[in-house]
Amino acid sequence: MARARRVTSIDVAREAGVSQATVSYVLNNVSHQKIAEETRQRVFAAVRKLGYTPSAAARTLRLGRSDIVLLLIANIPLGSTAIELIEHLTADLERHGLSVITRIESGRTVASLWKDLAPAAVVSFAPLARQHRADMRAAGTYVVNVWGDSDGEPNVMAQGQIRVGRMQIDHLVSRGHARVGYAAPADARVRAFFEPRLEGVRQGCAEHGLTPPSVREVALDMDAATAAARAWRDEDVTAVCAFNDEIAIALLAGLRAAGLSAPGDLAVIGVDDNPMARFAEPPLTTIDQHMGAVAAELADTVLAGLERPDARRSAPPESTTLVIRRSA
């Protein structure tokens, strides 16, 4: 039993009683070709009737470019926040005929994957060698960098992350704190988010007339967390902005181990509203980012970069909320 032959545009043409070229014109509504409305409808009807789906491989071969958006993600845990972002981004771009595909990266093999897929765009939440970026761009791929900005390349998400840091410090100041610390991640792979968040805290300190935050790296182990808690305490820091909820939770555990408590001895505020945040001792105050809005902004960047006419140009909606629990 022969495997069912694929439905091609030729089949559609035959069914609609037009030429294959016409089918192509209609389906890609080519601007410099006027097609009679009645013909268009016949083509669409035939497409539906036969269940025609264009062959991506053939399109790619012909155009030298696929309709894929390659999402590169560093090999870090993806919390519900990150998953939500990816999900929204996927849905948003899908709506514009782009297929989002994700690659969890260690780093080396991206180049070959890129060549294989010939994606329309690459959105990178992972370090991407300058040379690779250059190659991709030279070949016409639109590259969006959401990693760091040390390499002379702006991080498109930096603004939002700066706002997150601002919200943390603003809340602490509103609670009367004047000397704050910043709990930085030990994992360099999250630099892309760490740097702008810290920058936001710094800006906030400057604006409120406070001395800059005392930055300490807090590794995810009990000893490190305890030591950090004591050190901040010793320099009269009364509140700490943590890079994220995991570090905040570690710090709370460190406080307990040091015989201190939050928010009395040291107030702690996180970022993400991790599902575990409410179970911390005490329950963790944190910043929640609404990924729908963040994703919409990112999707827009991509569409604009691909020069799609349908990129929105509206101001992004507010995308972060303060979740007050007990730790700050």
How far is residue 111's CA from residue 133's CA, in Å, rounded to a whole number?
10
Q: Does 232 bind DNA (CB under 7 A)?
A: no
Smallest distance, a copy of itself to C-beta of residue 24, A: 16
Smallest distance, DNA to C-beta of residue 42, A: 9
Is 269 in a helix, a strand, or coil?
Answer: strand
Q: Does 66 bind DNA (CB under 7 A)?
A: no
Q: Does 36 bind DNA (CB under 7 A)?
A: yes
Smallest distance, DNA to C-beta of residue 1, A: 17
Q: Does 8 bind DNA (CB under 7 A)?
A: yes
- Is the dihedral angle over the CA atoms 241, 246, 252, 255 positive or is it negative? negative
Q: Does 139 bind DNA (CB under 7 A)?
A: no
Residue among 15, 52, 110, 142 that touches DNA (CB under 7 A): 52
Residues 6+ apart with CB under 8 A from 318: 290, 293
Q: Does 54 bind DNA (CB under 7 A)?
A: yes
**267 close to 327: Cβ distance less than 8 angstroms:** yes
Burial class (CB in 10 A: 0-12, 13-18, 19+), 260: middle
207 contact, one of a copy of itself, DNA, none, CB 5-8 Å limit per kind? none
Residues that bind a copy of itself (CB under 8 A): 3-4, 6, 53, 55-58, 60-61, 64, 66-68, 75-80, 82-84, 86-87, 90-91, 94, 99-104, 106, 109, 112-113, 115-118, 138-140, 220-222, 225, 246, 249-250, 252-253, 256, 275-276, 278-279, 281, 283
Q: Does 39 bind DNA (CB under 7 A)?
A: yes
| Cα angle value 193/311/164 (rounded, 5°) | 20
DSSP state of 285: E
How far is residue 154's CA from residue 150's CA, in Å, rounded to a whole number?
8
115 contact, one of a copy of itself, DNA, none, CB 5-8 Å limit per kind? a copy of itself
Q: Does 41 bind DNA (CB under 7 A)?
A: no
Can you read off the two tokens belonging to residue 184?
């930085």
Q: Does 30 bind DNA (CB under 7 A)?
A: yes
Q: Does 58 bind DNA (CB under 7 A)?
A: yes
Q: Strand pairing partners for 289?
A: 320
Q: Does 55 bind DNA (CB under 7 A)?
A: yes
**7 close to 46: Cβ distance less than 8 angstroms:** no
How far is residue 10's CA from residue 16's CA, in Å, rounded to a whole number?
10
Residues that bind DNA (CB under 7 A): 5-6, 8-10, 17-22, 24-25, 27-28, 30, 33-36, 38-39, 52-55, 58-59, 61-64
